Amino acid sequence: MKKKAALILMFVIVSASLYFTGMHTGKAHDYGAPAGYTNSPFDGKSCAASGCHSTYNLQAKKPWITSWVPGTGYLPDSVYTIIAKAVYEGHTSFGFEISPQTVSGAPMGTLIATNPTTTSITTSGSLQYIEQTINGYQGHDSLVWVFQWKAPSGQTDSVTFYGCFNCGSGTSASSGIIYPATLTVYQQYPAGIKNVKNQSTAFTIFPNPAKEQIAISYNLKQSGNIEVNLYSCDGREIANLCNNIACEGNNTQTIKLPASINPGMYFIQVIADGESSVQRVIKE
Task: Note the pLDDT tens digit of each residue in 28-44.
Answer: 455 678 899 999 999 99
Q: Is the model's pLDDT at 84 over the cut of 90?
A: yes
The residue ranking higher by pLDDT, 126 or 48, is: 126
Read off the pLDDT of residues 178-201 as tens digits, 9 standing for 90 and up.
999 999 998 887 777 765 554 444
Report the distance separating Cα 79 and Cα 68, nearest Å. 10
Out of 50-59, 101-110, 211-220, 243-252, pick the least confident.
50-59
Q: What is the SS3 assignment for 19-67?
A: HHHHHHHHCCCCCCCCCCCCCCCCCCCCCCCCCCCCCCCCCCCCCCEEE
Do 22-186 and 203-283 show the same overall fold?
yes
Going 25 to 26 to 27 to 30, the CA torsion angle's sign is negative
| Confidence band for 162, pLDDT divided at 50, 70 and 90 | very high
Q: Is the model's pLDDT at 19 over the cut of 50?
A: no
Q: Is the model's pLDDT at 15 over the cut of 60?
A: no
Read off the pLDDT of residues 208-239 as tens digits, 9 standing for 90 and up.
899 999 999 988 888 888 899 999 877 888 99
Q: Is the model's pLDDT at 17 over the cut of 50?
A: no
Backbone angles phi, psi at 5, to 5 degrees: -65, -40
- For the structural domain made of 22-186, what CATH number should be given? 2.60.40.4060
What percent of the chain is predicted at pLDDT more than 90?
52
| Confidence band for 16, pLDDT divided at 50, 70 and 90 | very low
pLDDT at 26: 35
What CATH topology corresponds to 203-283? Immunoglobulin-like (2.60.40)
Tell me what the mean pLDDT of segment 154-174 comes to. 84
Q: Is the model's pLDDT at 177 over the cut of 60?
A: yes
User: What average pLDDT does the chain have?
Assistant: 84
Q: How many CA atoms lie within 13 A of 225 on its CB side?
A: 7
Contact between 37 and 46 (Cβ < 8 Å): yes
- What residues does 264 pair with on adjacent strands? 283
Contact between 55 and 175 (Cβ < 8 Å): yes
pLDDT at 23: 36
Tell me what the mean pLDDT of segment 125-149 comes to. 96
pLDDT at 157: 76
pLDDT at 264: 86
Q: How many C-beta atoms surround the C-beta of residue 277 within 10 A?
A: 18
What percent of the chain is predicted at pLDDT more than 70?
84
pLDDT at 195: 56
CA Rg value for the chain: 25
Q: Is the model's pLDDT at 10 over the cut of 70?
A: no
Domain ranges of the chain: 22-186, 203-283
For residue 116, cis peptide bond before it (omega within 30 degrees of 0): no
Q: Is the model's pLDDT at 89 over the cut of 70?
A: yes
pLDDT at 254: 92
Sheet (strand 249-256) strand order = 203-206, 213-220, 249-256
The contacts of residue 263 (CB under 8 Å, 6+ apart) are 282, 283, 284
